[in-house]
Amino acid sequence: MFVDTKSSCRILDTFTYTYDEKLDYTKKAVAENKILSFITMGDPALYGMVGGLIDRFEKNDIAFEIIPGVNAAIASSAVLKRGLTGMGVTNTFVCTSYNNHDKSRKNLEKIAALGCTVSVFMGIDNLKEIIDIFAAYRSKQTPIAIVSNATWHNEKIIHGNLGNIMDIFNHDKVEGGLILIGDFLNKEYDYDLERQFIEMKKKEVKK
């Protein structure tokens, strides 16, 4: 990862430290009056370090600030130029992750049945299983996008549907990324609903 820092700054790889080791390191830095930043991809609250660190910092009276980021689903929506929700499309958007354990499968089945916009984090290695679960609940024509490295120089996007995405993916492989599933990818906004909503709002303003 490229990080633009002062030469006096020390950079460590957080993946090589347990949470308790991160805490010990933080305590030492605080005692030396140093500023420590934990940098994570996207937003730290979503499959990030926030949980494990907040608990430990609060219990140890260590002052901290969380700077929000743009999570991969929101970044992907921007690069796909599609709203994750929309009038007549869906008003529900789910972030989930998948591993091939029973509990994860059952959860994903419930989510697939909702028919809403779904983003699956850390799911590429189990893409086939994820597709099979969705295909049991949604039409084979349901669109899918796989966005790899959204907003980075090596960004790559694969488009398909539940029926053909495995063939496209096997031909056009990407390393890692976010799986986005739902009609939001190709369904038209409902202009009638939008007009009704605007008229209702206008009436409210007049009152």
Ligand X SMILES: C[S@@+](CC[C@H](N)C(=O)[O-])C[C@H]1O[C@@H](n2cnc3c(N)ncnc32)[C@H](O)[C@@H]1O
Interface residues with ligand X (CB under 6 A) are 40-43, 46-48, 71-72, 75-76, 121-122, 147-152, 176-178
Shortest distance (Å) from residue 33 CB to ligand X: 29
Shortest distance (Å) from residue 63 CB to ligand X: 23
- When the beta carbons of 12 and 59 are compared against ligand X, the nearer one is 12
Shortest distance (Å) from residue 40 CB to ligand X: 6
Instruction: Give residue for tokens 């950079």.
Output: 11
H-state helical runs in 17-153: 19-31, 50-59, 72-80, 102-114, 127-135
- When the beta carbons of 64 and 189 are compared against ligand X, the nearer one is 64
Shortest distance (Å) from residue 112 CB to ligand X: 18
By the 8 A CB rule, do 40 and 13 touch? no
The tokens of 190 are what?
A: 């409902």
- When the beta carbons of 100 and 139 are compared against ligand X, the nearer one is 100
- Interhelix angle 127-135/102-114, rounded to 10 degrees, is 50
- When the beta carbons of 62 and 74 are compared against ligand X, the nearer one is 74
Residue closest to ligand X when measured from CB atoms:
42
> DSSP code of 81?
T
Q: Please, which contacts does 50-57 make with residues 24 or more away whose CB atoms are closer than 8 Å?
A: 52/19, 52/22, 53/19, 53/22, 53/23, 56/19, 56/20, 56/22, 56/23, 57/23, 57/26
- When the beta carbons of 69 and 88 are compared against ligand X, the nearer one is 69
Shortest distance (Å) from residue 175 CB to ligand X: 10
Rounded-to-integer distance, Cα 71 and Cα 48, Å: 10
Shortest distance (Å) from residue 174 CB to ligand X: 9
- When the beta carbons of 30 and 70 are compared against ligand X, the nearer one is 70
The tokens of 60 are what?
A: 């140890």
